[in-house]
A and B are shown apart, each in its own frame.
Chain A
Amino acid sequence: MPSRDDSSRLRRDAKRRGRLGSLGYHLGMIAVCAVVLYPAVWMFTSSLKPSSEIIGNISLLPENGSLDNFATALAGIGGVSFWTFFVNSVIIAVFSVVGVVVSSAVAAYAFARIQFRAKPLWFALMVATMLLPFHVTIIPQYILFQNLGLINNFGALLIPKFLATEAFFVFLMIQFLRGIPRDLDEAARIDGAGHIRVFGSIIMPLLRPAMITAAIFTFIASWNDFLGPLLYLKRPDLYTLPIALRLFVDQTTTSDYGAQVAMAVLALIPVIIFFFVFQRYLIDGVSTQGLKG
């Protein structure tokens, strides 16, 4: 039912369709919700069930609910505690966020506010890297970091973040800055402020919404990242949660689905919290990108 925001038409529609239409709409939407959220609900309730009840049982409600699975999951793997993996994930996610936000903002300022001759060329190259499949750089990057001794070192995962290699976020911030009138920073420039001061005291505060969007997306992407840690982290005490989860799946030789699902739930909790706290930013952030892209 394509509709629009025009209120007179809405009122007319509402009269015609009345409550019945509204009921039908909500029933339909709730049905879609049920399908979409089913895997998540299944996951949470399964984590409370004993393994034998998870497979071959379609009832969502656990018959003998318990937290045993979580106890198994929190015990970790082979002497490395769950919290070690958790802390590793947090460290990498936090530094990734800082790196991406700062380096992207700095680069975006140059692209949006400083005039110099070769800029259109650099801008085109930057946009092109957004479309480049990562496959083509991953092998030489790996060889490079390996020669620098950065295997089993978070550096291999974090250095690219501090070098604004995620062109998408640079682009996002450039678009955002273009929407901000130049009056403020031009006035400051006329008053003799240098670029560093203009960037620090005028642009950064204005850029905050775009920075928050970039921060949230970076956090979630880094938290879920699998390939990076798989390549560079080879020691269990350095594993992030996704890699630990994978080891956990391989190690529990008796196919302990309960504990696997419980650990999967634990690994997702930060993302879920993030989602509830920042959902407005997230969704609005995405939609503005779409519009301005």
Chain B
Amino acid sequence: MTTTNAPADALVERPSLRRARLRESLAGYGFMAPWLAGFFALTVGPMIASLYLSFTDYDLFAPPEFIGADNYARLLSDPQFLQSIKVTVIYVVLGTPIKLAAALGVAMLLNAKRRGLGFYRSAFYAPSLVAASVSIAIVWKAMFIDDGVVDSSLRIFGVELGGWVGNPDMTMPMFILLAVWAFGGPMVIFLAGLKQVPGELYEAAEMDGAGRLRQFRNITLPMLSPVIFFNLLMETIGSFQVFGSAFIISGGTGGPAGSTLFYTLYLYQRGFRDFAMGYASAMAWLLVIAVGLITILLFRTSKAWVHYQGDAK
């Protein structure tokens, strides 16, 4: 769905003077100047700098000292680093599909002509605006603590789990619930996608005697695949960047027992608590490479399951 092509007329030669073209170029760069400045000073420059720093030992005080690939070698034998990868991967692999499934399910329920839809839609969307806030992290922690509302409610049903906050096996489900709770973002995008599916398709399928499940599998999923792909890509990349809620709930430690040591949190600890800037830069670059590979992989596999309609844009 991402169309990166500039409009075709961009390249059409106009019967104009060279001077006019030059003037257009100047105007173009003039308007782009703030973005260009940001692009070079705050994105490209820093990227190169962090690549360099990742091969150095740098603590903000003494000048960076070149140490070759030591940081990368150390990372591979750092149990905390491996733990942070494990935590993040589990979160992304479990959290993203559950969240998207919830979003799609609710979007389909909302794709009807009934009263009160506006209300439901707003109610479901609201959590996604605040889920990453410190306020909600505080609320989440208070809800999932020993004798908190979740523990007490489960006990009514005879489930004795204790507080999730203190149990390293239960903190991940707690974070995944927080992620799934914010299903409203992808939901509205699914909803927009569903509105574009031509009704005749379902009508024809119904005539053929196709049940709901087959309609879903043969019509909804293929027609919606570009939107699913977009959501999958955005949510996956977003999941790698979780920070605030993990920071608040674990008090910045990534505990208990490293069970909430998300990649971003560990990078923060190394970079901005221990001031191991080189080490943290190496972590950042490994993440860039990993995210790049995942993006490429998603795009590759998307050819097999994403169906773009000729007229869809």
A and B touch in their complex, CB below 8 angstroms: yes
- Residue ranges of A at the interface with B (Cβ–Cβ < 8 Å): 1-7, 9-10, 22, 25-26, 28-29, 32-33, 36-37, 39-40, 42-43, 46, 54-58, 103, 106-107, 109-111, 114-117, 119-120, 122-127, 129, 131-144, 146, 159-160, 162-165, 170, 178, 194-195, 199, 220, 223-224, 226-227, 230-231, 241-243, 245-246, 249-250, 257, 260-261, 264-265, 267-268, 271, 275, 279, 282-283, 286-293
Given contacts A114-B28, A160-B38, contact A137 B46 (CB under 8 A): yes
Do residues B43 and A165 form an inter-chain contact, with CB atoms below 8 A? Answer: yes
Q: Which 4 residue pairs across A and B have the least CB separation, nearest first? A: A163-B38, A290-B189, A287-B192, A4-B199
B166 within 8 A of A: no
Do residues B130 and A288 form an inter-chain contact, with CB atoms below 8 A? Answer: no
- Residue ranges of B at the interface with A (Cβ–Cβ < 8 Å): 1-2, 4-7, 9-10, 21, 24-25, 27-32, 34-39, 41-43, 45-47, 49-50, 53, 60, 106, 108-109, 111-114, 116, 120-127, 129-130, 132-136, 138-140, 142-143, 145-149, 152-153, 181, 185, 188-200, 202-203, 212, 215-216, 220, 227, 230-231, 233, 237, 240-241, 243-244, 247-248, 251, 263-264, 267-268, 271-272, 277, 280-281, 283-285, 287-288, 291, 295, 313
Given contacts A135-B284, A283-B121, contact A9 B199 (CB under 8 A): yes
Do residues A6 and B199 form an inter-chain contact, with CB atoms below 8 A? Answer: yes
Q: Which residues of A contact B46 (CB under 8 A)?
A: 136-141, 144
Which of B53, B148, B251, B287 gathers most chain A CB within 10 Å? Answer: B148
Q: Which residues of B contact A141 (CB under 8 A)?
A: 42, 46
Do residues B125 and A283 form an inter-chain contact, with CB atoms below 8 A? Answer: yes
Given contacts A116-B29, A138-B271, 12 further A-B contacts (CB under 8 A): A2-B108, A2-B194, A39-B136, A55-B145, A103-B34, A139-B50, A139-B281, A139-B284, A275-B122, A289-B189, A290-B189, A291-B193
Do residues B133 and A291 form an inter-chain contact, with CB atoms below 8 A? Answer: no
Do residues A137 and B42 form an inter-chain contact, with CB atoms below 8 A? Answer: yes
Given contacts A2-B215, A109-B31, A137-B42, contact A224 B130 (CB under 8 A): yes
Do residues A32 and B124 form an inter-chain contact, with CB atoms below 8 A? Answer: yes
| Assembly CA distance A286 to B126 (angstroms) | 13
Do residues A291 and B277 form an inter-chain contact, with CB atoms below 8 A? Answer: no
- State the Cβ distance, B169 to closest chain A Cβ, in Å: 22
Do residues A164 and B112 form an inter-chain contact, with CB atoms below 8 A? Answer: no
Do residues A268 and B284 form an inter-chain contact, with CB atoms below 8 A? Answer: no
Do residues B196 and A291 form an inter-chain contact, with CB atoms below 8 A? Answer: yes
- State the Cβ distance, B203 to closest chain A Cβ, in Å: 6
Q: Which residues of B contact A265 (CB under 8 A)?
A: 135
- State the Cβ distance, A136 to closest chain B Cβ, in Å: 4
Look across to chain A and name the residue whose beta carbon is closest to the beta carbon of B178.
Answer: A39
| Assembly CA distance A7 to B113 (angstroms) | 9
| Assembly CA distance A223 to B26 (angstroms) | 37
Q: Which residues of B contact A178 (CB under 8 A)?
A: 7
Q: Which residues of A contact B200 (CB under 8 A)?
A: 6
Look across to chain B and name the residue whose beta carbon is closest to the beta carbon of A26.
Answer: B116
Given contacts A268-B130, A286-B185, contact A131 B135 (CB under 8 A): no
Q: Which residues of A contact B195 (CB under 8 A)?
A: 5
| Assembly CA distance A282 to B181 (angstroms) | 18
Look across to chain B and name the residue whose beta carbon is closest to the beta carbon of A121.
Answer: B6
Do residues B122 and A249 form an inter-chain contact, with CB atoms below 8 A? Answer: no
Do residues A54 and B284 form an inter-chain contact, with CB atoms below 8 A? Answer: no
Do residues B139 and A39 form an inter-chain contact, with CB atoms below 8 A? Answer: yes
Selected from A267, A282, A293, the residue in CB contact (under 8 A) with B134 is A267
- State the Cβ distance, A22 to closest chain B Cβ, in Å: 7
Given contacts A9-B199, A133-B241, A271-B133, contact A2 B149 (CB under 8 A): no
- State the Cβ distance, B102 to closest chain A Cβ, in Å: 10
| Assembly CA distance A242 to B247 (angstroms) | 12
Which of B4, B24, B43, B196 gathers most chain A CB within 10 Å? Answer: B43
- State the Cβ distance, B214 to closest chain A Cβ, in Å: 11
Do residues A162 and B34 form an inter-chain contact, with CB atoms below 8 A? Answer: yes
Do residues A290 and B202 form an inter-chain contact, with CB atoms below 8 A? Answer: no
Q: Which residues of B contact A268 (CB under 8 A)?
A: 130, 133, 135-136
- State the Cβ distance, A254 to closest chain B Cβ, in Å: 14
Do residues B135 and A267 form an inter-chain contact, with CB atoms below 8 A? Answer: yes
Selected from B5, B7, B203, the residue in CB contact (under 8 A) with A9 is B203
Q: Which residues of A contact B243 (CB under 8 A)?
A: 226-227
Q: Which residues of B contact A106 (CB under 8 A)?
A: 31, 34-35
| Assembly CA distance A257 to B125 (angstroms) | 27
